[in-house]
Amino acid sequence: MRWLIIILLGPVFAQAQAPNILWIVCEDISPTLSMYGDSTAKTPHLDQLAAESVVYEQAYAAVGVCGPSRSSIITGMYPTSIGSMHMRTGKDITAWGQQTYRERIDAVDVAGDSLRDYAVVPPAEVKCFPEYLRKAGYYCTNNQKTDYQFAAPVTAWDENSAKAHWRNRPEGKPFFAVFNTNLTHESKLWKHADKPLTVEPEAVPVPPYLPDNAVSRKDIARHYSNIELMDAWVGKLLDELRADGLYDNTIIFFYSDHGGPLPRQKREAYDAGLRVPFMVKMPGQQPGRSTRMISFVDLAPTLLSLAGVAPPAYMEGQAFLGAYEAKPRTYIMGTGDRFDEYTDRVRVIRTKRWLYVKNFFPEKKKYKDVAYRKNIPMMRNMLDLANRAETPKLNAVQQSWFESKSEEELYDCQNDPFQINDLAKNPLFVDSLRYMQALLLEQFGQSPDLGQLPEATLIEMMWPDSKQPKAKKAICQQIKGKITLSSPTQGASIAYLVSDRADMEPRLNSGWQVYDSPLKVGREEKLKPGRYLYVLVERLGYGRSEIGVWQIK
């Protein structure tokens, strides 16, 4: 099919009511799909969706790993601006974000201080963007992954569980529904070892930075086979949308949370770690391709823009669709800090042609010795080949990943798509190097970089005396038929629900409404006098308040 190159300059459709929006999110894949020129995996469902969508060629995660990346998506902020750049800070035990904290994790910061589990505490004004959609009348569901580096507040989602679905919304409400799948996650390279390969190892492409041997080919074939499993899952989800008569009038996004799962992909700040497949199908929009640069910080303001909600001024992202579309970007920023037990600090600037890498610890190796990734057979094989006492069995390109970094790297992505030919010290490219250096300084001038702080110092700022701050209980006032809710907690988000019982134990995974303005007694059936109002206060990174209970008069 011949693709039409299009430029999106403003709202491309209008409809009488707020549009339904569906996000289909997979994990750990680069643009290794047919619509990007790689037909190794057979993906008929994604192929059909792409034929009806705008396929974005320049979409990038903020970080090449899930937790920091997802924090940027849900807030519209760079992880380095809100302190969520370190992977991982705490562990979500359930999809709703119930957390437990240990005194220590197996990591130290740049100053050599031991670290503890913690929840990131963003600035007070920062919210999860679905909260704004809920206030605008949307029914918001997440099925099921959160992984935001802080617990998901009850104000973020109407439903947040493995059962969350647009089908559960009240009649007449528009929906924003997120469905996540981990079928392509890094861990499935070994956890799917018992599943048949649907892609032959002999047929897979091997990137030049990986050894071309039987071990590599089997893992790569496993990954492409996982992509085929993911495509079948996408097909079932889209069939549900069609069965409900919603396919033609729903905005559909498909993307991966960051780049591929293989060695020198995940956790890296090169294209293999940051560049993702990304497509959007919109009613009334002509399919095609776009070279507009997109950062994951742009997703939150774009979703609000599509819903007709003005993005809040604090968001660092820029809407690329809808009523509040901004000017196209000229570059994106990517970052890399602590990955599990391995501490580092890398900043990158990517234009449409160039990739500039600033390494703040050039004495470290490019390879990050993270224990988790050693579950991948290919990773163990590469380490064995790289560490042999005799002549290494890796070629120069592959071996360079296990060598010390330089302070700066520069790659011509048009002529070097795998970023293996560093031009930073080539005098022919000094002007390009200086231009990219200037862009990084410009970015530093626009947003703070909390990665400059030792992580232990950052934790103490967020959790004074190593204690998680806690939201203060809500204040409820009823005057002349109006109920006003407030909290002394700066940046508080308030949730409420109504019951006939004074002794109910509310669940945290559904039923809570977002408080936006005074409640009018008697206006709705649920707000009748004599019923009970349950109120909970949230702030990102804080412990939840005690639940207050008041009887409506």
**Residues labelled as active-site residues:** 66
Cα distance between residue 12 and residue 174, in whole Å? 19
Neighbours of 344 (CB within 10 A): 20
Contact indicator for 317, 295 with CB cutoff of 8 Å: yes
DSSP string, 343-359: ---EEEEE-SSEEEEEE
Tokens found for residue 424:
């930073």
CA angle 218, 420, 356 (to 5 degrees): 125
Q: How far apart are CA 88 and CA 453, in angstroms?
A: 16
The amino acid that residue 451 corresponds to is G
Rg (CA), the chain: 24
Distance, first Cα to last Cα, the chain: 65
DSSP 237-297: HHHHHHHTT-GGGEEEEEEESSS-SSTTTTT-SSHHHHB--EEEE-TTPPPEEEEEEEEGG
Smallest CA-to-CA distance from 122 within 93, 80, 164, 163 is with 80
- Give the chain's count of helices (H) and strands (E): 12, 23
Q: How many CB atoms lie within 10 A of CB 162?
A: 11
Instruction: Kindly give, in sequence order, each residue whose CB lies less than 8 Å from that of residue 238, ignoring residues fewer than 6 positions away.
Output: 45, 49, 247, 252
Number of Cβ atoms within 10 Å of the Cβ of 119? 23
The two three-digit tokens of residue 217, written as one number? 């080919």
